[in-house]
Amino acid sequence: MINYKKLNRKLKSPYAIGLDIGGTKALIMITDSNGTLIYKEKVKSSGKIHRIVELINDSLFKVKIPINQIIGLGIGVPSATNSNEGIVMDAPALEWVNLNLKKELERHFDFPIYIDNDVNFAALGEKWKGTAKKSNNIFFIAIGTGVGSALILNGALVRGHSYEAGEIAYNISESDINEGIYNELGEFGVFESKISGTALSRYIDNPKQLFKMYTEDNGDVKKLINNFITQISINIVNAVNLVNPEYVVIGGGVSESMDIVLEKIQDSVNELTPVKTTIVLSSLKGDAGALGAIAYVLER
Amino acid sequence: MINYKKLNRKLKSPYAIGLDIGGTKALIMITDSNGTLIYKEKVKSSGKIHRIVELINDSLFKVKIPINQIIGLGIGVPSATNSNEGIVMDAPALEWVNLNLKKELERHFDFPIYIDNDVNFAALGEKWKGTAKKSNNIFFIAIGTGVGSALILNGALVRGHSYEAGEIAYNISESDINEGIYNELGEFGVFESKISGTALSRYIDNPKQLFKMYTEDNGDVKKLINNFITQISINIVNAVNLVNPEYVVIGGGVSESMDIVLEKIQDSVNELTPVKTTIVLSSLKGDAGALGAIAYVLER
């Protein structure tokens, strides 16, 4: 058991809060200003502001940190986000459309609040404490229920002109067009439909089991996973050509089963472009987003 | 005729030099610190250092600008370039391999010298005085003999981890792989082989005439140009998804004949991704690189 009172006396530095709000689960983390973990809890997700306020206050109460010792709060949300103003554009799972989450929460808290896309914060987490090892040039891909990505270039997050950078779910190829597949009205992502957890679960519900079956002699699974490798490699290659990242970090739920195909993806990428990059799997897994939110707070 | 003596007295501010060294031609421009053009000359290209020194000294002599009034010199070269140290990695046309061009020229000049990839500087030029209108998020594609690109994101050039960002010439698609086409040893670019001026000239030597024939009823040309439109649209779409630029600027020699297909490319991109962008043709044409080199000098 950590003696928080003693810890608080010892650390005169203030604390940062990171909150990663997903579609079903929310993860809160509190660290000191060195990034040492003080508190971590996973709860059911909610789009209700008073539930978020409650979660933060309860967490601080549990570790006996007075609110005036908080330097800031970072929140990652599953939506394109105007991080300048703190506006969440569209998060259906939380029933938020053009919600100024920053403003809503500033009614309850005095410390600075930063809102960003969850994948953006996860990329910052991987840079800070993960496999991307403080690199200034990172392409982070999150493969979960859906597919998202984030870019850190010249040491900073790339959010894009309208905060939509990283939307590789919509990537498309010549054969898609020949087959008449489009990102019609933005309602679905063509690339996402090929490699997401949802896509893989069409064959079997458990990605872990699916990737395990790949080592066994199962023709259907071999074909499915080989296609997964090809699709992801092509899209990594074209991104690497464009932004020349030192690391490509693959995160998200599906990545936790991908050890077995990582080398094949690296080989394939090496073969398809002369621009060198190192492909790694996320080491922070589900913690990346909340940690990245804290990294962002501490950076300010 | 400009009265340079009078101009020099009037402008107390110093001058900047931009030099764009291509495979066959080199363009030198001198402006005052407001970017007003003082001098411009196109000469035969040379990889010999003493020829470059001569070109700069002769140009300054012609406009009677003393060397101590120069704030800096920017040089764009057709190669990946370590812009930090001023090293040109590989410019076959100039017979430069790992040449520290900055160091070589610092033996002759006291003012600051900046070396960068020519397409990077052209993108800066388009941001400064071209169709990209000071935007902080620009994807610039140069279609000439070959195909290159450059990114300005968060207001700054993206050079990448090993100064190879923008190498979209190597982009690849699923059908390329199925057909066994690779970027073997980096010796050729698969995407480049589809849309470059060299690729187009396989049909007819003059891109201007080729694009003109597109409006006429020529089945072969229609097919060729329609494929050009599809290929360029797919690659713009995937780049737009990734980096969400406000403007996609198409420059390079071939772009000067592309008015007739610009709207079709924009429509196609609009149809293939929900992420919005505005596609424009370069307005600076051959001047973009030298102007961008000057923009970079003035920015420092």
Range from A72-76, A225-229, B8-12, B178-182 carrying the lowest mean pLDDT: B8-12
CB B270 within 8 Å of CB B7: no
Q: Please list the residues that pair with B20 across neighbouring strands.
A: B27, B76
Between CA B294 and CA B70 the distance in angstroms is 11
Listed in order, strand segments (DSSP E) in B45-155 are 70-77, 81-82, 87-91, 96-100, 113-117, 138-143, 147-153
pTM for this predicted structure: 0.93
- Please give the Cα distance from A164 to B80 (Å, whole number): 29
Average pLDDT over residues B271-277: 96
Nearest to A168 among B137, B231, B242 (CB): B242
Predicted complex ipTM: 0.94
Interface probe, candidates A84, A172, A236, A244, chain B, greatest B C-beta count within 10 A: A244
Residues of A within 8 A of B156 (CB-CB) are 154
Mutate to test the interface with A, among B147, B154, B244, B278 (most CBs of A within 10 A): B244
Average pLDDT, chain B: 92
Percent of chain B with pLDDT over 90: 80
Partnered with residue A205 across adjacent β-strands are none
CB within 8 Å: A273 and B186: yes
Q: Are B296 and B116 in contact (CB under 8 A)?
A: yes
Helix (H) or strand (E) holding B43: strand B37-44
Mean pLDDT for chain A? 93
Contact A227, A281 (CB under 8 A): no
Q: Do B275 and A167 touch (CB under 8 A)?
A: yes
If you ran DSSP here, which 8-state letter would residue B286 be given? G
User: How sure is the predictor about B159, in pLDDT bands with cuts at 50, 70 and 90?
Assistant: very high
Interface test with B, best of A153, A228, A234, A268 (most B CBs within 10 A): A153
Instruction: Using a CB–CB cutoff of 8 Å, tell me whether A8 touches chain B.
Output: no
Which residue is listed with tokens 């929140």? Answer: A75
Residues 6+ away with beta carbon under 8 Å from A104: A49
Tell me how far apart the terminal alpha carbons of chain A are, to the nearest angstrom: 31
Q: Diameter of chain A by CA atoms?
A: 66
For residue B80, the model assigns a pLDDT of 94
Rounded-to-integer distance, Cα A191 and Cα A282, Å: 21
Chain A residues whose beta carbon lies within 8 Å of the beta carbon of residue B160? 137, 153, 243-245
- Tokens representing A115 are 């809102």
Given a cut of 60, is residue B136 above it in pLDDT?
yes
Residue A99's Cβ-side half-sphere holds a number of Cα atoms within 13 Å equal to 19
Q: Is B164 helix (H, G, I), strand (E, B) or coil?
A: coil
Distance CA B216, CA B238 (A): 31
**Cβ under 8 Å to B: A residues 162-181:** 162-175, 177
Q: What is the pLDDT of residue A181?
A: 87
Answer whether B156 touches A (CB < 8 Å).
yes
Choose the closest CB to B183 out of A158, A186, A273. A273
pLDDT given at position B267: 97
> Does the CB of B83 have a partner CB in chain A at under 8 Å?
no
Interface residue of A242, A265, A273 to substitute, partner B, most B CBs within 10 Å: A242
- Residue B162 and residue A243: Cβ atoms within 8 Å? no
Which of the two residues, A199 and B294, has the higher pLDDT score?
B294
* pLDDT attached to residue B204: 83
Q: How far apart are CA A31 and CA A15, in angstroms?
A: 6
**Cβ–Cβ under 8 Å, residues B81 and B116:** yes
pLDDT greater at residue B4 or residue B215? B215
- What CA–CA distance (Å, rounded) separates B45 from B23? 7
CA distance B69 to chain A (A): 32
- Tokens 């060294």 -> residue: B21
Nearest 5°: phi and psi at B37?
A: -70, 130
Put the strands of the sheet holding B37-44 in their side by side order.
Answer: B37-44, B25-32, B15-21, B70-77, B113-117
Q: Do A167 and B241 touch (CB under 8 A)?
A: yes
Q: Is the pLDDT of residue B165 over 70?
A: yes
pLDDT at B283: 95
Residue ranges in chain A modelled with pLDDT below 50:
1, 8-9, 11
Nearest to A245 by CA among B83, B159, B123: B159
Residue B10: pLDDT over 60: no
- Predicted local distance difference test score (pLDDT) of residue A256: 95
| C-beta atoms of B272 and A172 within 8 A | yes
pLDDT of B213 above 60: yes
How far A161 CA sits from the closest chain B CA (Å)? 5
Separation of alpha carbons B127 and B246, rounded Å: 11
- Reading the block at residue A8, the tokens are 């608080």
Query: Greatest CA span in chain B, whole angstroms?
Result: 66
**Residue B16, pLDDT above cutoff 70:** yes
Let me know the angle formed at the C-alpha of A269 by B196 and A138, rounded to the nearest 5 degrees: 95
For the cut 60, the answer to whether the pLDDT of residue B94 exceeds it is: yes
What is the spatial distance between Cα B140 and Cα B132, in angstroms, rounded to a whole number?
Answer: 9
CA distance B238 to chain A (A): 5
Interface membership of A82 toward B (CB under 8 Å): no
DSSP collapsed to 3 states, chain A: CCCHHHHHHHCCCCEEEEEEECCCEEEEEEEECCCCEEEEEEEECCCCHHHHHHHHHHHHHHCCCCHHHEEEEEEEECCCEECCCCEEEEEHHHCEEEEEHHHHHHCCCCCCEEEEEHHHHHHHHHHHHCCCCCCCCEEEEEECCCEEEEEEECCEEECCCCCCCCCHHHCCCHHHHHCCCCCHHHCCCCCHHHHCHHHHCCCCCCHHHHHHHHHCCCHHHHHHHHHHHHHHHHHHHHHHHHHCCCEEEEECHHHHHCHHHHHHHHHHHHHHCCCCCEEEECCCHHHHHHHHHHHHHHHC
Mutate which: A273, A277, A280, vs B, most B CBs within 10 A: A273
Q: How far is CA B249 from the centre of its chain?
A: 10
B235 close contact with A: CB closer than 8 A: yes
Q: Looking up tokens 């392409």, which residue turns up?
A: A139
Distance CA B219, CA A86 (A): 53
Asked if residue B172 has pLDDT above 70, the reply is: yes
Q: CB-CB: which of B177, B271, B276 is closest to A162? A: B276
Look at the block and give the residue holding tokens 């910052």: A124
Using the Cβ of A244 and the Cβ atoms of chain B, whether some distance falls under 8 Å is answered with: yes
Q: Can you tell me the distance from the alpha carbon of B145 to that of B196, in angstroms, rounded to the nearest whole number?
A: 6
Distance from CA of B52 to the nearest CA of A (A): 31
In the predicted model, is pLDDT for residue B235 greater than 80? yes
